[in-house]
Amino acid sequence: MKHYRLATLLAAAAIAILPATAGAAVTYPDPQPITGQQIIHDPTVIALKSGGYVAYSTGGVIGARTSKNRVQWDDAGNAFAAPPSWWYDYNSTGDPWAPDLSYRDGRYWLYYAVSSWGTNHSAIGVATSPTGLPGTWTDQGKTFTSETTDAWNAIDPALITADGKLWMAFGSYWTGIRLVELNPATGKAIPGATVAQLATRPDAPYAVEGAYIVHHGSYYYLFASYDACCAGVNSTYKIRAGRATSITGPYADSTGKPMLAGGGDLLLASHGRYIGPGGQSIFQDKGKDVLAYHYYDGEDSGTPKLGLNTLSWTRDGWPIVL
């Protein structure tokens, strides 16, 4: 959303009168203005303990961007100097996807996926760092995998701590969004842990992916990207959300439609030059929730760029993008 004082005031006033639906608005806010290196895909962003911000993304050996003020972003190379050797078991180029960045137990944790387009022979890996900055990561290997005999796809990881336990949401197409418990000491999946199902679509190819879960008030909120990414101006990505009182679900939207039946309030979709928003994550900055995502710029040949918007909440506890 553009940082005009009037627009900000109107948006704040609207929160108090919106009905209990996250998809009530007929228009969508523009991303907040940024400068510098804007190109990114599947961003995960964090406000560093040392000050400033870092973003990691699909591309390169987990592409990195840094910022001092969340406005000017600079290219910072890659998380790793070279791909760990085991990545090549999942694709010929050692190409990682969709990282997730978090801070826990005195260090930063970077989860990521390695796979090939159109297969669920996939793996989610994890690395740790004392600073969160590129070049400081130590890869810890695989945390969770899937094979062609599985009913899920081990990509698009997203971590959350709930009820004193560590969980990882993941999934793309196949049967949609899944959840598995992790060992907090190792950051890896507990052997034999139940793999819960959180969201899917009624019909193949079950086009939902890129899960992210946050806790707000009495609920857990599941955000996911629906439909097709990665096609530039022809992308149909959009961000939907639902909520549950338990981390394992069931999740439903503001109309009561289960996310296991294709439900989900529409939060952000294509508008103007901002096409196919998705690949989202959420981070906290100065006490506020911030939604990070990519969109395809319709005025720049569909180049994927970083979108940042404040994520607020209605009086009835539903997310709204400002």
Q: Which residues are annotated as catalytic?
A: 42, 209
Q: Which helix (H) or strand (E) holds 291?
A: strand 288-297
Q: Are 252 and 245 in contact (CB under 8 A)?
A: no
Is the dihedral angle over the CA atoms 198, 202, 204, 205 positive or is it negative? negative
Is the dihedral angle over the CA atoms 84, 85, 88, 89 positive or is it negative? negative
Helix, strand or coil, per DSSP, at residue 260: helix
Torsions phi, psi of 260, nearest 5?
A: -75, -5
Helix, strand or coil, per DSSP, at residue 321: strand
How many residues can be counted in the chain? Answer: 322
Q: Are 300 and 282 in contact (CB under 8 A)?
A: no
Three-class SS of 143-200 = EEEECCCCCCCCCCCEEEEECCEEEEEECECCCCEEEEEEECCCCEECCCCCCEEEEC
- The alpha carbon of residue 105 and the mean position of all alpha carbons in its chain are separated, in whole angstroms, by 22
Torsions phi, psi of 320, nearest 5?
A: -145, 140
Torsion angle defined by CA atoms of residues 64, 69, 72 and 73, in that order, rounded to the nearest 10 degrees:
0
d(CA 104, CA 117): 31
Helix, strand or coil, per DSSP, at residue 282: strand
